[in-house]
Amino acid sequence: MSEYLALEARLRSMNQQLDAKKDKVLQDSDELFREQYSSRSSSRPSSTRHTPRDHRPESSKSQKSNRSADTPRSNNRPKVKREEGDEESSIPSSHVLEPETQVTSVRGRAAVKQVESPEPVVYRRDPGLESMLNQLREELQTSRKENVTLLDEKKSMQTLISRMEQTMRIQEDKISNLEGRQQELLSSEEKLTSENATLEARLAKSQAKIDEVNKKLNLLQQQLQQGHREMDTIAKEKKHAENDRAQREGRLNRALEDVEKFKEALRLAKNAETNANITLKQTVEKLATENKKLERQKADLLSAFQKQLKLIDILKRQKLHLEVAKKLRLHTCFVAILVRVLFVRNHGEARQDRKVHHQQPAHNFHTQEIQET
């Protein structure tokens, strides 16, 4: 298939080259034709001057129709042999033409018939035109040689194309089968596309749901991680609390043991206290009776003491009286002695008066104390 397409492309390129060369030759011939008529327009009559221009568009139209007829034949495969025959018929057999038909021979035989005018036209020889015509002839010869080689290649290619056409028919049958299969596949593809659209819609919905579920899952995972962290902290706190509880239980057990000991001691103390209270009551009663006795004795002692104090006061008073009496006796004795001494020693009266004067207040003081007692 690829070789056939390559050959077909090559043939098309060759046909395009031939068409390009033909167009080039036709353009050159048109230029020569215009130069020839423009140079000889002054010597030609008015009737002959317009005849080739009137016939020229028809020739160009015929040539264009020939070109348009040649180009589609090169594109269609079954019309290759007809194109070959047309090209062979378009190539003239003679190289040397008359001067009247040399210019128009390039455009084809139909153009030659149209160019011929009812009146004969006399041409003059121009060396420049002849040289240009010779060049054109040489180019035509080279193009004919190239056309011959191209035609040989075209024949060989056509044999290959015929073979390829057989293979192409087989391939076309296969292609037709494949096209039927393709139509079936297209129908199934349409069904599958519709199903795929529904599935894509479902998939989009499910994807949206999955996204929501993933968001919820992420939130739940975050909450779960937070819960794990809280559980770890709670486990640590629980472990710490268990350790504290164990320590507290140990302390509590020790405290309970101490409480039992203290209870036992308290019971013993209470028993001892009850016994002590009994003994204390007995002792208190004894002490109360003794206290009463002592209070009686105290009252007796106080009464006796008061009596003794009164006696002491009386004795003191008596003692004072006795002392005062002694002092008075002594005073009187002393005074008498002094008087006697004074008289004896024969002191002066003034001195005796002074002594008496000094002794009188003491006598008065002693008398007052005696009165007070």
pLDDT of amino acid 75: 41
CA distances from 115 to 40, 45, 95, 157, 366 (A): 16, 16, 19, 38, 214
Angle (CA) 110-140-159 rounded to 5° is 85
- Residue among 94, 102, 89, 27 at smallest CA distance from 60: 27
Instruction: In whole angstroms, give the CA distance from residue 158 to residue 58.
Output: 34
| pLDDT value, residue 152 | 81
CB atoms within 10 A of CB 104: 23
Q: What pTM value is reported for the model? A: 0.22
pLDDT given for residue 40 in this prediction: 64
**Amino acid, single-letter form, for residue 309:** L
Q: Name residue 51's amino acid.
A: T
Q: Phi and psi of 108, rounded to 5°? A: 120, 165
How many other CB atoms sit within 10 Å of the CB of residue 329? 10
Rg, Å, the chain Cα set: 87
pLDDT of residue 226: 87
Burial of 52 (0-12, 13-18, 19+ CB in 10 A): buried
The answer to whether 59 and 104 have CB atoms below 8 angstroms apart is: yes
The structure tokens listed for 217 are 């899952």
Predicted pLDDT at 110: 41
Show pLDDT as tens, one digit a residue, over the chain (373 residues): 566 677 677 777 877 777 787 777 777 777 776 776 676 665 554 444 444 444 444 444 444 444 444 444 444 443 333 433 343 334 343 333 333 334 344 444 444 444 444 444 444 556 676 777 777 778 778 877 877 887 787 788 778 778 877 877 887 888 788 888 878 878 887 888 888 888 888 888 888 888 888 888 888 888 888 888 888 888 888 888 888 888 888 888 888 888 888 888 888 878 887 887 888 788 888 888 888 888 888 888 888 888 888 888 888 888 888 888 888 888 888 888 877 777 777 655 655 556 555 655 544 545 555 455 4
Q: Are 111 and 45 contacting, i.e. CB atoms less than 8 angstroms apart?
A: no
pLDDT at 346: 63
C-alpha of 245 from chain center: 46
Work out the end-to-end distance of the chain between its first and last CA atoms, rounded to an integer number of angstroms.
181
Would you state the structure tokens that stand for residue 210, as one six-digit string?
């999955």
**In this predicted structure, what is the pLDDT of residue 323?**
85
CB 7 within 8 A of CB 160: yes
Q: Give me the residue label for tokens 């139909």.
A: 110
Distances (CA, A) of 289 to 212, 286, 294, 298: 102, 5, 8, 14
Q: Alpha-carbon distance 75 to 311, whole Å?
A: 185
How long, in residues, is the chain?
Answer: 373
Q: If you search the block for the tokens 């057990």, which residue do you land on?
A: 253
Q: In terms of Cα–Cα distance, which of 147, 124, 138 is closest to 70? A: 147
Distance, in Å, from the CA atom of 81 to the CA atom of 198, rounded to the nearest integer, reads: 56
Closest among 41, 59, 29 to 133, alpha carbons compared: 29
207: tokens are 């994807």
pLDDT of residue 43: 52
> Which residues, in sequence order, are CB contacts of 139 under 8 Å at separation 6+?
25
Nearest of 108, 100, 29, 101 to residue 64 by alpha carbon: 108
**Chain centre to alpha carbon of residue 263:** 70
Sign of CA dihedral 39, 40, 42, 46: negative
Contact between 136 and 32 under an 8 Å Cβ cutoff? The reply is: yes
* Alpha helices, DSSP H, located in the chain: 2-39, 46-75, 80-90, 99-102, 109-115, 127-345, 349-372
